[in-house]
Structure 1
């Protein structure tokens, strides 16, 4: 009798296990699947900085893909609130289930989605074009926002970045490539600015810079931190973002007053920046180097003509060089015709107090300052810089 009772209990448990409903299931199109593992991984980015980042998300589970492309996750995540998860596929030979590709939205290998307790999610995708073809049956508002973000990212990539990876990187093109990168990132942050849902907005911010480098979009990122901190001040990701893009970690922002730096002026000793600003309508603080090809192009093609046109009308250029060799610095100044304006350098390469104070890591960089040292604009190049100087000095 005991044996019959035990068999009955085991049978019930077995039937319950077999009939357990999948909380996440889907079908993958296995066309062009020869290079891909027949597996789907569930990855949990525990922190904001782990979203869209390789090797740091926690691998929660995996599911086998059968010959028809079907897979199921039956072990429900033990979360009691909304969380962001990443559904990931990997190529053959990849050792790490949590490696996430961010090179091209057409072929990137993961999709972020929001899970809430009680969800039963059904998805589809082409395994070889996972992110771009990923779909969710009857998506929630949050997941619909993520699908819209995916489409925006794909369109922006094609508009601004597609084809740049294989470019030759000619000196004339480098600044244009950087501008394209900025426009791509701005479109993602504009999505976050319009978003009503926190997690899709956070994904947009991470996709704007998977490396968490917001130096070139400092004002945009800082504004997003302020927005989400006002809406969700206790959320851990909001706090992480606030720390990451605090004013202490970003370059001087537009609208702020630049510190009164002491600059070692070429052939003229040390001078405070505020002394240089006195009596000037507009000062361009230009950060460059003799070894920086785009900087050299800008010297010759943009700054010399601007100087010639406006130096008698209250326009000044203060150029700071990231130099180790005084000879190379002097040669570049003379060759570019840049001897017309002021130059400073600590001759300590890129490890110097100037870069530390302004919290800069990337050149070329520049700040357009009024007489009080207020940053009016920054990192304008080419025609954008010409237009700003023309407009400002014509209508100060």
Structure 2
């Protein structure tokens, strides 16, 4: 009996010792960084839209960072399934522990990590470069995926910055800046497309647009929704993504038919888009404005030459203007040489039935349509637009 008692007591002491071990601990290097609070916060994004978003995550706990940089979380989260959490540091004077900075992945003040019940995690980081230096000792496959995603984001951001150096910053260069930004975001969504890990994929989608604006990435996000809905249809974040990526909430997608739209043509007529499409091999439906500098450059340098080259071969351009001044609209059309093709506008600025029908809010925009009204491509500009038209018209 004594031996049994001793064994039982030893087991209880061992269990107690194990339970006192922190489930999350680590070291954060402060060095001479006196601007930072010696505190680390644990934040839970409860919804898909909350992921990597400031001020909305639920603050679960906090831990003090000792003088040697060590911290521990001992209160076990009460979750039965893997859950995404965010570890956050804040500068002195910051009132909100759940403020997440999404300005530069080198220095952003948080890192997303996945807690699995019954596991322990040990991390290291530098407070001033929290996200870029974050490491996890022997990470799970999910956390290893997050670390790979972080590294990809860092490299993509460096390419993005390098690309921005070649852009002068003037309004005319807006399209080049947009393309550069799109390429950065696409790399993150490509990661989500390649991984089998749901929660890291959700982080990738949110990192692609922390503000939740997927207008310029509509096809990519729609495909991601289809993928994850097939794999995890009951996950609440997948259901939220399905709502975001519903076709009724996105601009018309490549492969879809352009809707029947009645256009108020310059000069007083009204014509349906389908009527204007009849007999055409290819149409550029261009969405522009007289006050939009890159639109004006596109008119003169891209659309006029394309019209002159291919109009006799059933190439058509129809332009819709976000105009409120008929005089400014007409002046721009004449000055740019854009009078060659049809123009339409409700003369109601950006609040108009046309933008509502196509579910657009951003210009310049365009849709390349075949004779049936199928969207072949979208938002191609400059050399990309010329290349597409050249190739298609040569068939």
* TM bucket normalised to smaller: over 0.9
Contact 2:367 2:377 in 1 (8 A): yes
- Higher alpha-carbon deviation: 290-299 or 154-163: 154-163
Superposed CA offset, 1:246-300 (max 9, x none) = 1010000000000110000001411000000000100000000011111111111
**Aligned twin of 1:355:** 355
CA distance in 1 between counterparts of 2:167 and 2:376 reads 33
CA distance in 2 between counterparts of 1:97 and 1:166 reads 38
**Aligned twin of 1:221:** 221
Contact 2:123 2:136 in 1 (8 A): yes
CA distance in 1 between counterparts of 2:158 and 2:95 reads 30
Query: Is structure 2 residue 126 aligned with structure 1 residue 126?
Result: yes
**Aligned twin of 1:59:** 59
**Aligned twin of 1:68:** 68
**Aligned twin of 1:152:** 152
CA distance in 2 between counterparts of 1:182 and 1:367 reads 17
Structure-2-length-normalised TM-score: 0.94
Contact 1:32 1:128 in 2 (8 A): no
CA drift of 1:103 comes to 1.1
CA drift of 1:175 comes to 0.6
CA distance in 2 between counterparts of 1:323 and 1:340 reads 19
Q: Which SS does the other structure have where 1:318 is aligned?
A: strand
Structure-1-length-normalised TM-score: 0.94
CA distance in 1 between counterparts of 2:371 and 2:188 reads 35
Q: Which SS does the other structure have where 1:89 is aligned?
A: strand
Distance 1:383 1:77, change over 3 A: same
CA distance in 2 between counterparts of 1:293 and 1:49 reads 33
CA drift of 1:32 comes to 4.5
CA distance in 2 between counterparts of 1:163 and 1:381 reads 17
Q: Which SS does the other structure have where 1:112 is aligned?
A: strand
CA distance in 2 between counterparts of 1:32 and 1:338 reads 61
CA drift of 1:162 comes to 5.3
Aligned length: 382
Q: What are the ranges of 5 or more consecutive residues in structure 2 without an aligned counterpart? A: 1-11
**Aligned twin of 1:319:** 319
Q: What are the ranges of 5 or more consecutive residues in structure 1 without an aligned counterpart? A: 1-11
Contact 1:161 1:181 in 2 (8 A): no
CA distance in 1 between counterparts of 2:180 and 2:137 reads 34
Distance 1:104 1:307, change over 3 A: same
Contact 1:188 1:205 in 2 (8 A): yes
Distance 1:166 1:318, change over 3 A: closer
Contact 1:283 1:368 in 2 (8 A): yes
CA drift of 1:165 comes to 9.7
**Aligned twin of 1:8:** none
Contact 1:279 1:314 in 2 (8 A): yes
